[in-house]
Amino acid sequence: MSVQVQAQVSLKPFNTFGIEVKAAQFAQAHNDDEVRQLLAYAAERQWPVLVIGGGSNLLLTADVQALVLRMASQGIRVLSDDGQRVVVEAEAGEAWHPFVQWTLDHGMAGLENLSLIPGTVGAAPMQNIGAYGVEIKDVFAGLTALDRHTGELRDFDLQACDFGYRDSLFKRNPGRWLILRVRFALSRGTQLHLDYGPVRQRLNEQGVEQPSAQDVSTAICSIRREKLPDPLELGNAGSFFKNPVVAAVLVERIRQAHPGLVAYPQADGQVKLAAGWLIEQAGWKGFRDGDAGVHQQQALVLVNYGQASGGQLHALAQKIQGDILARFGVELEMEPNLY
């Protein structure tokens, strides 16, 4: 086998929480052939396999008794460009934010609202990442995945991915599909999304009257840097809880006691609540227990101040979930995958 497999490897550099656990076996795949070799190698030895990208949506609570396969494939290519619509394909191991910047540098709009999100291209469709009014599904043109059951490659279109809020077919079937490359439909025009959150306000503050896609990206990066800690400085996985979608009758009940409730009506009659607002109202913002805590600036973010274990962070998350359920009758769902 051409690819190297290492034993007892620290995963601290490979998860943005900075949790110190070990992988029983660890390898990095740089192309399709290496992926197949590693999966076959693990199958021969009856090892389970954990596939990771940037480790930004992962909470490791114990040493991983498996082959940890890190997707490290690189490559960006333009598949078509008619002067208006551009289809770009990127390998799964490409880091997400540098890829977004590459598209902007090449005059392509569409991904600017998703700037500065940690992780890799291959992980982006897993949970249909989204920010500031844009989700992966809005710019999706297809992907290629390996069926780990049959060894065959399959191309997925938008419908086949069955995207939902922070959800997809791939997230619901974690052991089945391994995403190899993703395609995006971008624009040479400036169809910008400016009306979600403080984006337009930030552009005004920066004196930008006719923003480009790059201007929007710059504004969003500045907003995110103010709100969210840099994982290189303070371990975290970004937003730890999904914004819950609940019945309108529950929203009205909460609003009677909390007139300032942040809520977004949905097309199906339900209402999306701001999980961060609920957590802050419950007094968890800035909470710290040892090295496990809730960020001082953003209640939606759990942080590792240095030596917290995954178990300690998970326990804190469960306490928050229980408190929000007791106070508001709302169940919070964790975003990161637990292992």
Residue 96 · residue 122 · CB < 8 Å:
no
| SS3 of residue 75 by DSSP | coil
Of 166, 181, 183, 202, the active-site residue reads 166
Collapsing DSSP to helix, strand or coil, 281 comes out as helix
Catalytic: which of 91, 94, 112, 335? 335
Rounded Cα–Cα distance for residues 339 and 131 (Å) = 25
Residue 73 known to be catalytic: no
Task: Given the residues 56, 73, 217, 239, select the one marked as catalytic.
Answer: 239
Residues 189-192: contacts with CB under 8 Å, at least 24 apart = 189/84, 189/109, 190/109, 191/109, 191/110, 192/109, 192/112, 192/216
How many helices and strands, by DSSP H and E, does the chain display? 9, 20
Question: Nearest-CA neighbor of 19 among 239, 337, 275?
Answer: 337
Answer for the pair 20, 270: CB distance below 8 angstroms, yes or no.
no
- According to DSSP, the residues that pair with 264 across neighbouring strands are 272
Strand residue runs (E) in the chain: 6-10, 22-29, 49-52, 58-59, 64-71, 76-81, 85-91, 130-131, 134-135, 140-147, 153-156, 177-187, 235-239, 245-246, 263-265, 271-273, 288-289, 292-294, 301-304, 337-338
Q: CB atoms < 10 A from the CB of 155, how many?
A: 11
Is residue 300 exposed (0-12), middle (13-18) or buried (19+ Cβ within 10 Å)?
Answer: buried
Q: Rounded CA gap, 211 and 134, in Å? A: 17
In degrees and rounded to multiples of 5, residue 15 shows phi and psi of: -140, 135
Is residue 166 part of the annotated active site? The answer reads yes
Closest alpha carbon to 43 in 88, 1, 15, 104: 1
The answer to whether 187 is a known catalytic residue is no
Catalytic (active-site) positions = 166, 239, 335
